[in-house]
Amino acid sequence: MSRRGLFFSFEGIDGSGKSTQARLLAEALKPFWTHVTLTREPGGSPGAEEIRRLLVEGAPNRWSPTTELLLFNAARRDHVERVIRPKIADGHIVITDRFADSTRVYQGASHPEMRRLADELHAEVIGIEPDRTFIIDMDPARALARGLARRSGEDRFEEMGEAFQAKLRDGFRDLAQEYPTRCVVIDGDRPEDVIAGEVLAQVRALI
Ligand code: ADP
Ligand code: TYD
């Protein structure tokens, strides 16, 4: 018999340790839950990964703010349709490295007038929120040093610099206040295993 799964997201500025924590949570859950799906945005399904390349490569001003918002939502719609909803319905715990809060904060920080449209699009074409969102909070200078050290070639957003990252950090903190029951702020400037232990304790309380 299948039961509904659960949906968790990790959010935060670039280099804060989201991917690390998403992976550690997926590993830590295996003894407790048979099916765990680890995924990411932008991307997470074949179509959305194609759209990802349009979003993360190239010049920072490659797209207009509205076009960029539509591309993030097109990618997310495919990810939700093809992966997130079917897996949750099949009893999986789905863990995503970024979701809609990244759009609210990144696209909202660059262009505040985009926030209203982001919320409207989310309601119309996405329509799902995580059961819990872990916001990994981190000093931008330290996070940026971690992120740029990777030199992945996907630096379209990271190249926007430290002042922008500081604005994003404030954006994520504001979002946590806006959605106090869904979002939890986690101090990311600690050893990986300490952060992972705190996240796992919160997740275990929900399963
Ligand atoms: P994000 O997904 O938020 O961009 P990553 O998980 O890829 O961040 O981590 C960025 C870099 O920082 C990686 O090199 C990773 O190994 C390192 N890292 C992650 N978490 C920690 C931590 N708690 N302490 C020190 N370094 C970390
Ligand atoms: P990601 O691969 O998570 O970058 P990182 O591991 O460096 O944190 O995401 C790529 C970039 O896309 C990142 O700078 C954040 C940005 N982004 C948005 O601007 N809006 C969104 O909705 C999402 C999902 C990501």
E strands of 61-169, at which residues? 93-97, 132-137
- Check residue 110 and give its pLDDT: 82
Q: Tell me the average confidence (pLDDT) per consecutive run of 10 residues in the chain, 207 residues long.
A: 82 95 97 94 98 93 95 98 97 98 94 94 98 96 74 60 90 97 97 98 94
Ligand 2 centre to CA of 58 (Å) is 14
68 ligand 2 Cβ < 6 A:
no
3 state DSSP class of 107: helix
Q: Is the CB of 157 under 6 A from ligand 2?
A: yes
Q: What is the pLDDT of residue 32?
A: 86
Q: How many A from CA of 33 to the centre of ligand 2?
A: 28
pLDDT digits (tens, 9 = 90+) for 2-55: 468 999 999 999 899 999 999 999 999 999 899 999 999 999 999 999 999 999
Ligand 1 pocket check: which of 10, 11, 20, 102 to mutate, most ligand atoms within 8 Å of Cβ? 20
Two tokens at 161? 């610099």
Three-state SS at 44:
coil
| The 93-97 sheet, strands edge to edge | 36-40, 93-97, 6-12, 132-137, 183-187
- Report the pLDDT value the prediction gives residue 2, as an integer from 0 to 100: 47
Residues with CB under 6 A from ligand 1: 12, 14-20, 146-147, 191-192, 195
Query: What per-residue confidence (pLDDT) applies to 162?
Result: 83
- Say how many Å lie between the CA of residue 177 and the centre of ligand 2: 21
Cα(29) to ligand 2 centroid in Å equals: 25
| pTM of the shown model | 0.95
pLDDT score recorded for residue 143: 86
The phi and psi torsions of 23 (rounded to 5 degrees) equal -65, -45
The whole-number pLDDT of residue 153 equals: 61
DSSP class per residue in 8-42 = EEEEESTTSSHHHHHHHHHHHHTTT-S-EEEEESS
Ligand 2 proximity of 72 Cβ (cutoff 6 Å)? yes
15 alpha carbon – ligand 1 mean position (Å)? 6
Distance separating alpha carbons of residues 164 and 162, to the nearest angstrom: 5
